[in-house]
Amino acid sequence: MAVTLTRHRTYQVPFHILLGGCLAALGRMRAQVEQQDLERGVIVATVGAGLLAPVSELALTIARLDEGRASLSVIWRARKLGGDRVILPVFLESVDSLVGKR
């Protein structure tokens, strides 16, 4: 059975600001976006490259809560060589720094 980790956070920012922060954080990590539906707030990306590097998947769901709040759900999965579990907290810290603390 594959291991997955899930984290949920609520931010005091509008949907589009959180979406942009998530895309910027993925860019900082040099992630490869494999799927995206930006209107629905769904992004699937992989982090890690190279022949012998661990590869992790981040599946993001960003939702509007009300005018000034949005939520982020992230599922981490190992893709290759067990993945790297540090990717999830690093991604979340990057989003926090870009859009402000929750």
pLDDT at 24: 97
Low-confidence ranges of the chain (pLDDT < 50): 1
pLDDT at 3: 81
pLDDT at 102: 61
4-99, CATH topology level = Alpha-D-Glucose-1,6-Bisphosphate; Chain A, domain 4 (3.30.530)
pLDDT at 91: 97
pLDDT at 2: 66
**C-alpha–C-alpha distance, residues 2 and 16, integer Å:** 32
In three-state secondary structure terms, 1 is: coil
